[in-house]
Amino acid sequence: MKKLVSLFVAIFATIALWAFDFVGDNFLCYNITSSSEPYTVEVTCQVSFSRENYYGISSFTIPTAVEHDGITYAVTGIDDRAFLNCFALKSITIPEGITNIGTIAFENCKALTSITIPNSVTNIGQSAFGNDSSLTSITIGKGVINIGSRAFSRIENLTKFICLSPHLTSIPEFSLSDQAHLDTVIAYASFLNISEESLTNASKQLQYVSVLGGELKDNAFGFFRRSNKTLKVLDLTNSTNTTLSDEMLRNCHTIEELYLPSNLTHIPYMGVAECVKLPSITIPASVVEIEGRAFENCRMLSSVNFAEDGAVTTIGDWAFYNCHELTNITIPEGVTEIGHAAFYGCTYLTEITLPSTIQEVADNGFALCGKLQKMHVKAMNPPTIHAKTFYEVNRKIPVYVPDEVVEDYKADPYWKEFLIIGESKAPTAVDNVLSPNTNSEKIFRNGQILVIRDGKTYNVMGMEVK
């Protein structure tokens, strides 16, 4: 064996363009791409002392550097055909620093299950991973600019696709719509805007989608709706959409997390209607209008979060109809109008806060909110309400309004039906702790109002203190 090794050394030493290294039992060869500083090489092929060993490699890590004749060479590329036909190769680690993956570099590596292209790679050659039929996961780094034809052809078992590169608009001969088993996609909008004719083939197993940038077209939402019985997380925060089409995500029954585009100005008609498992939603600060039926029948929706500096002025008709799990809603400052039946049938709603800017709550706006216990209305002018705005709501509940306008509310033909109380008399957490059925008292200590009850001390938030 030593004589054989010496023979190889002698042969390669005579070829100025080649370097070599041992990796286990395999003789890894490099093509010297720069013989002056900075010294660089690319992996060109594996030469084993046995053909069987060459094809039998199951995992491999490409080194970042190699020593040859006392010089350290950085490994910057994977040459054409470098790992061609390595049928047993299941795992390959490509380090940062590699910039090029050559033509058919990993073609016919039929046991390879995942591939991660580092951010340093800018080019992936033709058929580089062609016919790698066991690939289930592909991650393409941020730096990739060019991908050759058929680079990922004949791959049909993909479950995870991640493309972090903003430079790519598509991959030749590759479409997400052909991936029947796909469950995770993290990519730019260009990869999700698949053609109309391709929608019939789109995955019905999709569970997680995150859009890294770009404008989503209607076909992208068609792609999402094809997975309306599996899709759980949809993150559109970084998409550049300012508007979306009506009914964009209607009937996506399994969505549990939805993040709307950060620059969205309107939530469209029935845009998120009947997403029956959605528990919460954050309205982006840029949204001006929540259109009619936008969240209709989102039966599990228990939390609606508005940005403090948000732009919302209008909540449309039936916008939150039948959102049964809502228990508390604070309408943000800036909203002037709440539409007809906007919160109709929110049967577990117990508390409402209306902003100082509110001018009108339309008929049936909060109808059938039978568990409502109190309201806070900050408007100095009593907002317009109608005979059925609070249909089936107990008229004995307190409505807390600015102290200065208590009498104005009491003079209004519809507001006067409620128990109108000045806001300064609204109960605090301390008052909730002070129950008439217990022995409790207020004290003032170290600048704080505290409550002593049953031998324990509570602060104004109702939390026990020592």
End-to-end CA distance of the chain: 79
Q: What is the mean pLDDT of the segment spanning 387-402?
A: 96
Residue of 198, 295, 317 whose CA lies nearest to 248: 295
Whether residue 11 is predicted with pLDDT greater than 50 in this model: the reply is no
Whether residue 436 is predicted with pLDDT greater than 60 in this model: the reply is no
pTM, whole model, 2 decimals?
0.84
Whether residue 52 is predicted with pLDDT greater than 60 in this model: the reply is no
Domains in the chain: ranges and CATH: 1-134+141-148 (3.80.10.10), 429-466 (no CATH)
Starting at the earlier edge strand, list the strands of the sheet with 464-465.
Answer: 440-445, 448-453, 456-458, 464-465
Q: Which single residue is written with the structure tokens 């969240």?
A: 295
Q: What is the mean pLDDT of the segment spanning 299-316?
A: 95
Q: What is the mean pLDDT of the segment spanning 74-91?
A: 91
Q: Which single residue is written with the structure tokens 């799990």?
A: 325
Q: What is the pLDDT of residue 461?
A: 52
Cβ pair 194, 202 in contact under 8 A: yes
Q: What is the pLDDT of residue 15?
A: 36
Whether residue 36 is predicted with pLDDT greater than 80 in this model: the reply is yes
Whether residue 187 is predicted with pLDDT greater than 70 in this model: the reply is yes
CB-facing half-sphere around the CA of 264: CA atoms within 13 A: 24
Q: What is the pLDDT of residue 56?
A: 66
Mean pLDDT of the chain: 87
pLDDT confidence band for 3 (50 / 70 / 90):
very low
Residue of 136, 234, 115, 221 whose CA lies nearest to 181: 136
Q: What is the pLDDT of residue 197?
A: 74
Q: Which amino acid is at 298?
A: C
pLDDT tens per residue across span 216-241: 999 999 889 889 999 999 999 999 99
Residue of 251, 339, 330, 336 whose CA lies nearest to 291: 339
Q: What is the mean pLDDT of the segment spanning 305-312?
A: 93
Residue of 359, 350, 397 whose CA lies nearest to 378: 359
Q: What is the mean pLDDT of the segment spanning 136-153?
A: 97
DSSP one-letter code for 360: E
Q: What is the mean pLDDT of the segment spanning 129-147?
A: 97
SS3 content of the chain, % helix, strand, coil (to 5): 10, 30, 60
Share of the chain above pLDDT 90, in %: 67
Q: What is the mean pLDDT of the segment spanning 71-91?
A: 91
Q: Which amino acid is at 240?
A: T
Q: What is the mean pLDDT of the segment spanning 380-391?
A: 97
Cβ pair 167, 145 in contact under 8 A: yes
Strands of 189-343, DSSP E: 208-211, 233-235, 257-259, 266-267, 280-283, 289-290, 303-306, 314-315, 328-330, 337-338
Distance CA 99, CA 79 (A): 11
Strands of 370-418, DSSP E: 374-377, 398-401
What is the bridge-based pairing of β-strands 351-354 and 337-338? unpaired
Cβ pair 113, 136 in contact under 8 A: yes
Q: What is the pLDDT of residue 252?
A: 94
DSSP of 121-185, one letter per residue?
--EE-TTTTTT-TT--EEEE-TT--EE-TTTT-S-----EEEE--SS-S-BTTB-GGG-TT--EE
Ranges 104-113, 185-194, 243-252, 449-458: which has the least confidence: 449-458
pLDDT confidence band for 14 (50 / 70 / 90):
very low
* Residue that wins the pLDDT comparison between 353 and 48: 353
Q: What is the mean pLDDT of the segment spanning 178-205?
A: 87
* Residue that wins the pLDDT comparison between 43 and 350: 350
Ranges 60-64, 334-338, 360-364: which has the least confidence: 60-64
